[in-house]
Structure 1
């Protein structure tokens, strides 16, 4: 098969790394890719949101399957355009991608499907939102309705924080058009995990669980980020929890989307809160998580490419069971100093010290080459992943690798997985 992965971050590096292992792969392209993928695929200088150019490239190169990594090209209709060109895409249509691109839409799907989730209301007027807050005191959650790169959520611990978030989004334009409408919802209490499913419009196959670390600082302090690390599987993700989530959340969502005429194909990412009454949906995303993808794929033994190809064509066997190695995985993200705020680019990176470390892979996210040398080029720069017979071993191996990486312009959290062990 001739395959095109769309994107240039750590998630896409992990997808390319896994797909490159498939015996049915003929040629792998990544657009735009990054230096870490150069040994795995042919990197193409096309941005992930350059829809016209991506479709033309896929047509010219006789691509059999396109695998988009990030959500933005899906929200822009990449899957629709590829379908019109007769090219299979493992990702949802623009209409189905609204499960991520609109928080209000997802809540409406939950109400229609009977999916357990937080109580909610949506607003475009700041005054009406403040009146709602008067009747619903903190803790409470304020979300930008649209895409905000993982930074559009405020978990307000006080009434003042909630009002500040409303003002920043609706009156201050903090997230631009994505924050012109907000969703205010009940603050769920429990343990948060991420669950993934491979979907073909009707069938869903379980694709692992992970626990992301969103806050920038140790002890879950500081602002939210795109993710500073992850572990898999989380201790709380029992078979009973997974079964309940698939039957009460994932499959009802698929049935409802299909009934509406917008069937969902792709990775469905369910952010779950495990409450005293069972798993409840926090939100859906329409792609693999990042850094959860980098954490889970090193544990997966199954050849992923045929499964994605079947799902993209609506031929997924609902009885498929993916094969996972025993043990656990941990990912530590190394970010540029200043992230998630303003950060510098161009800092040198030396990966020589990690060569040969057991069960350890460094996925590149925000990197580039300058005069032949590897340098930082983004906020999240490296995703350092290790596997082990148990979570403690995986965490220890990941931090051994972190200490051996030369990246003076970077930092990481030092407590990834600490609560779990």
Structure 2
């Protein structure tokens, strides 16, 4: 790494202690920038990179709420508005016990460059809370969401900051938050949140977007090798919307997904995951993945070990950050994996990425491969701004076109800088240069 970048990284770590995920995200970006600075030394001037590492605004607030028994609880809420140089802050809200400032900063930092790659006029941000919606009643989730939005509404708007969903925040939570926003603002500003229900301003394909987009990105990775998804054996971690719709789309294109997981373990189904059964169990009944094996004769449930022990040609980590380490990477390689693409945000550790690169396994980084969700959120913003509603097939075609363009940017940039097939380097440089050029144009602000 360039010595100037090392010094900036040391400063980032010193100013943000105890935030390893954030440090990891910055280090990952910096690992690709030495070749950029050698060609464009102007990017090292005027503390440009230092400014890119510092959020424009970090908001932390308390969220008191009342449970079904009348007991008062207090959680902590966050919104990190990272960069608005390309447009209003855009990024999801995550409700999960693991959420802290470092997690939100890492997600927001990644979001800036992911959003830049989409080509859409949106900046980057992220937010959430350490609230856990799992096991809560609808009343309790509503109570929390209304309290959370009572504070958040001061800081967002369709031209300022447009949150969406993430882990723990689906259409139910977005609905409760939008209802509270509308009540407090006395206005129906549908563009202030994305991921809404289709009957009240939401976009078709938004639920499927991240998973479908991942499948489209992988299709492009395979096409670059004169191959396709047809006949591929795939393992997908997770069982949320990203995983479910990635499974659905890759199987539509001829692949066979043989395993998926949740926090309780994983199931193996050599006949291929029955995606409709999985949707019923996870989205409608909100059951654990074990139930899939109980109801599917060809499936077995494993409550220990790693889903990455299951042999496959393509691995799609879609659960959470740092779920696939270097040991798992070695196992996947031994079992014949050829492509790894991230449906979650930073699910492969830095050492895991290095193992895949060393073995010439094609690796699709999350900031490119899972950008379909935010791209479709931007399409929802377009529909809201024009008071329009697009049909499913049209929106899906727009999504596939955007993902093809993102892959093209990653591929072409990697080749331009002398590292063909290094899609991480291509994604990092393409996102960085777009943000950096815009920051240079706007001056020191």
What TM-score comes out, normalization by structure 1 length? 0.31
The structure richer in helix per residue is: 2
The structure richer in strand per residue is: 1
